[in-house]
Structure formats: C-alpha cells, structure tokens
Structure 1
Amino acid sequence: MKKILTGLALTMAITSVQAAEVSGTIGFTNDYRFRGISQTSGDAAVQGSLDVAFDNGVYAGMWGSNVDWDDDANIEIDYYVGYGNDINDDLSYDAYLAYYTYPGYSEDIDYLELNAGLYYGDFALTYAFANDYVNSGDAAQYIALDYSYGITEEVSLDLHAGHSFDDAWEGYGYEDYSIGLSGSAAGLDLSVAYLTNSLDVDETDNSDDDTVVFSVSRTF
C-alpha cells in the first residue's frame, strides 16, 4: 500500500507543472455490482470519487463504497493512476493501475490490478488482469465489450458483455451481461440496467441473481 501511495504522489508531483482538472462524484445505487456480482448482498450503496486529470493524459484518483458480504466487511476504497490519449478522431485508449483495498476487514484481500481500454466510436473493449486476485495467489482476468448508442442527446442505450476467467475462477469462469439506459437531468447522471450472469446461484447467493440496478450520481 505504501508503494502505491508513494507512486501516486510521485506521479502527481511530476505532472504538477501541467494544468490539472480536479473533480469529484457522489452517487447512490440500489445494488453495488462488480462484474455481475453483488458487493452489498443485494443492498444499496453510497459511493464517491475524487479525481485529478492532467493535460498530458495522466490521471489519478480514489473511489469508495460501502460493501457487505454478510461478514465484517463494510467498506472498499480503491486507488488508481493511469494514462489515456487519442489515436485519431475515432480511436482512443487508456491504461491504469488500480489497487483495491478493504480497510478494517478481518482478512487481507487487498490486491493490485492492471486495466486497459480501447475505444472506437460507441464501442469500448476493456481488459483487466490481477496476478494475485483478492490476495489468493491465483490470477484473474476479465474482458468486456460495451456499446452505447445515443437515442437522444440526453439518453443512451447501453449494452454490456463481460467474461471472467483464469485460475481464480477455475471450474466456473462466468459471463455477465447488462442492458440499460443512461442519461442526465437536473445536473444528475441517471442510469437503470437489467443485469444477468451465468453464475450458478447455488455457489454464491441470491443477490447474484438477475436484477435491475438503479444509479444516480452528481459530479462537481
């Protein structure tokens, strides 16, 4: 953790000569889902982030949410630093390193993950790799394809398909899918989506079954 924070501070110091834009987000969702799996046992979550972005494409930030796995886990705080840029008018990319932490949890499940994304028009192809997923010693990979179609200037149709695999999911690598709408009104970002996955709920719990997720957030 100390190395992560030191690297984040160093990156921000190096880029301090660049113009920076600082933003924050506060939001609410009726179920915090991460790659199709509920992190709140199907209950609501309050979430927030603080980000800084520089003109040279470097960005860094932190994000937090309450969690609930029917044990003593109650909060997640993630730290990330990355770089993004445009290849041309239609094609762009980014890559970032994320460190997922769970302060106060009885087990040490903090872990590091490398993420990369390629964006073309309304399509997004993303990939994530953790060589020590939840500090288990097993690797986990995730790949996803997203499509967002602008129905109007304010409302978009969002489609998502993802696949989790590698040793951490040995025997039951799974897929997650969603279809939803997102938009903005009165300064708020709003979304509603139907989520499903290929997990056998007998291996997890009913909170990972098909569901409808509502989210509202405000960026300032």
Structure 2
Amino acid sequence: MAPMPAEKPETRPYHHGDLRSALLAAAERTLRDKGSASLSLRELARDLGVSHAAPGRHFKDKQALLNALALVGYDRMAEALEAADEPGLPLQDRLTVLARTYLGFAIDNAELLELMYARKHEPDAAEQMAAAIDRTVGALERAVAAAQQHGEIVDGDPEQLTLVVGTALHGLASLAVTGKFTTEAAMATVSGLVHHLMYGLKPR
C-alpha cells in the first residue's frame, strides 16, 4: 500500500485587498474590547487570515499601528467638528454646537480618544499628529479668534482661551465616560457650561 502523501502545512495568504484599512478597523475593535495592551500585529494578522508578515508592509511595529490609529481618530473627530460647525452663529451658540459634537465623539470613542491624547506627542509621527490636532483643536481656536474679531469676548491669546474651553469640555467628557454623568445629563449640561465659560461665575 502506497504511503499517504504528507499533508501540506497550512498557509495563509499574503495579500488582503485593502489590508491597511482592515488592520486599522480590527485594531480599533480590539482597542474598544480589550485595550491597547492587547493589540498585536501577529494576532490581527491571524484574525484577518493573512500571514504574520503581511502587516509589516504597512506598519513596521505596534507603535506605528498605534500612531496610525490615533490619526484615524483625529481625522474622524475633525470631520465631525467641521460638519457641525456653523461660523455664522454667535459664539455661545457656535461653541455649544461644537461642544456637543466633541462630547458625543468622546463618549462614543472613549478608548480611541485616550489613545489619541496618549500618542499626540509621539516623535515618530510628530508632523502628522500636529496637522491632525490642528484640525480638531483648530476648530475651537478659530471660533474663539473669530469671536474676538467680532468683539464677543475679551482680547488675548486665542490659544490660551481655547485651552480653557477645551479643558472644560474634556473634563465634562471624562465625567461622562467614567459614569459620573449619563450621556443625557452630560449633553444637557453643555449649554450651561458654555454660558459660564462666556460670562464667568461672578454675580452681575
């Protein structure tokens, strides 16, 4: 009886259509479900059914993958802010719209937002990160600068005033993400928060 032919070892394809996008989508799912510590290029390759070497064509290592994922987050946030922004509105109304948009993004993408802030000073992607951050923080800063030109708020460095606004919004988002507020309560708080940012806490 002739010997049975030896089974060939299982092989995985090297190519996968748009592998870069597939890797980023899979990485984001892992980030949401398990956190960044669980991300592994080898595991992502296995999940996508490609060879363990295939992701190397797009990301040299896990750090490069994390940088790219953070940039995806910044692009997504910028698109949301740009779509929501209404430059013709008075500042209080304009900031309220932008604040609610940011808050919604932060609540829906808590793990991604944490990664975005963690990677924003990453030396290997500093130039790309700076441009991505400008599209997001820049939306608030442009609103502040325009309001100064219209005499709606005090003079001063728009960057510093934007920092005050951004800190307040991120603080509210953090409270919502950690369960201190429900999403509905956080959203309902936005208009009051913007009002106090505009007019302060001193009695008038």
| TM-score bracket for the superposition, by shorter chain length | under 0.3
Q: TM-score, normalised by structure 2?
A: 0.25
Identify the structure with bigger relative contact order (alpha carbons < 8 Å, sequence gap 6+). Answer: 2
Higher helix proportion: 2
Higher gyration radius (CA): 2
When the two structures are superposed, what TM-score results if normalisation uses the length of structure 1? Answer: 0.24
